[in-house]
Amino acid sequence: MSAIGIRDLNVWFGEGAELVRAVKSASFSVAEGESFGLVGESGSGKSTVLRAIAGLVDSWNGDMSVLGEPLGRRRSAAFYKRVQMVFQDPYASLHPRHTVDRVLGEVLKLHGFSDIDARIDRLLSDVGLGTGFRFRYPHQLSGGQRQRVAIARALAPEPRVVLLDEPTSALDVSVQAEILNLLSDLRAERGLTYLMVSHDLGVIGHMCDRIAVMQHGEIVELLDVAKMRALQADHPYTKHLLDSSIRSIR
């Protein structure tokens, strides 16, 4: 059973003359426990794929399934218990007026857990934050600490699939390293499936087993990471991306 199966997914925004086809018949599948990367430049539709899976986009057609359950227009409560998402900008993904305690407490309550206090402490220590952070507001946290809180929030319902939307692109490189290590550790400990979107081939290469390259809403190439590291891409666009990425770090 694949963790995520996408077949002929189309996503569009607007209508009539304004219609923009953000994703054009994309198909891929992610095995359970795998870490899969979606790479592309801005506007390639990579984040839109994630949002469509998460149910944040209404205008789509095609077949999507997660852990064997086909997805319809509405997501069930069970879906949100199994699939969670981490957003790109940790400054925008936490409510500015809610303390860490309230963020995590509300999520745990929504999923019907009872031992909330103990769980909050455990989640915070799992993401490498002490309990001293529990009653802080987002503005009292650094970018990396905020992203850790966002990861704790995503882990709260004990999901099996985590969607990662550029989780480190707003962070400094040294903080990025910490967050990527944390994500790797959590995957190893909990056997999570990751679907990660990034524009940074270095990050994707570090985190993922297989990648899909997107351009103008289409998946132009699927390749595994060993092939990518050896710079053996078939599609010219992938080659171009790899080339730019290598040249900028030499």
Partner 1 sequence: MSDTSFRDWLTADAPASRAQARAAAWYAGWLKLRGNTLAMVGLVVLIALILLALFAPLLATQDPFVQDLGARLKAPGWEGHLFGTDSLGRDIWSRLVYGARISLYIVALVALVAPLLGLIIGTVAGYMGGIIDVALMRFTDIFLAFPRLILALAFVAALGAGIENAVLAISLTAWPPYARIARAETLTIRNSDFIHAIKLQGAGPLRIITRHVWPLCISSLVIRVTLDMAGIILTAAGLGFLGLGAQPPSPEWGAMVSEGRKYILDYWWVATIPGLAIFTISLAFNLLGDGLRDVLDPKEAGK
Partner 2 sequence: MTNLLDVENLRVTFPTRSGTFEAVRGISFSLGRERLGIVGESGSGKSMTGRAILKLIRKPGIVTADRMRMGDTNLLTASEREMRRIRGRHASMIMQDPKFSLNPVMTVGSQITEALLTHEKTSRAEARKRAVGMLDAVAIRNPERVMGLYPHEVSGGMGQRIMIAMMLIPNPEILIADEPTSALDVSVQLQVLEIMDKLVTDRGMGLIFISHDLNLVSNFCDRILIMYAGRIVEVCQAGKLHEAKHPYTIGLLNSVPDLEHPRPRLDALQRDPAWREAPSVSALT
3-state secondary structure of 171: coil
> Binding of partner 2 at residue 162 (CB under 8 A)?
no
Nearest CA-CA partner of 41 in 233, 204, 150: 204
**CB nearer partner 2, residue 53 or residue 228:** 228
CA 21/CA 13 separation, integer angstroms: 7
Contacting residue, 47, 48, 145, 176, with partner 2 by CB under 8 A: 176
> Binding of partner 2 at residue 203 (CB under 8 A)?
yes
Q: Which does 25 bind (CB under 5 to 8 A by kind): partner 2, partner 1, none?
A: none
Contacting residue, 31, 67, 177, 223, with partner 2 by CB under 8 A: 177
Q: Which does 206 bind (CB under 5 to 8 A by kind): partner 1, partner 2, none?
A: partner 2
Q: Which does 99 bind (CB under 5 to 8 A by kind): partner 1, partner 2, none?
A: partner 1
Nearest CA-CA partner of 83 in 235, 213, 209, 192: 192
Q: Which does 177 bind (CB under 5 to 8 A by kind): partner 1, partner 2, none?
A: partner 2
The residues that touch partner 1, with contacts defined as CB under 8 A, are 54-56, 75, 77, 80-81, 83-85, 87-89, 91-97, 99, 101, 106-107, 110-111, 132-133, 135-140, 150, 153, 156-157
Tally of CB atoms within 10 A around 190: 14
Sign of the Cα pseudo-torsion (96, 97, 103, 109, in order) = negative
Task: Report, in Å, the least distance between residue 130 CB and partner 1.
Answer: 8
> Binding of partner 2 at residue 140 (CB under 8 A)?
no
Radius of gyration of the chain (CA): 18
CB–CB of 41/33 below 8 Å? no
CA 81/CA 190 separation, integer angstroms: 15
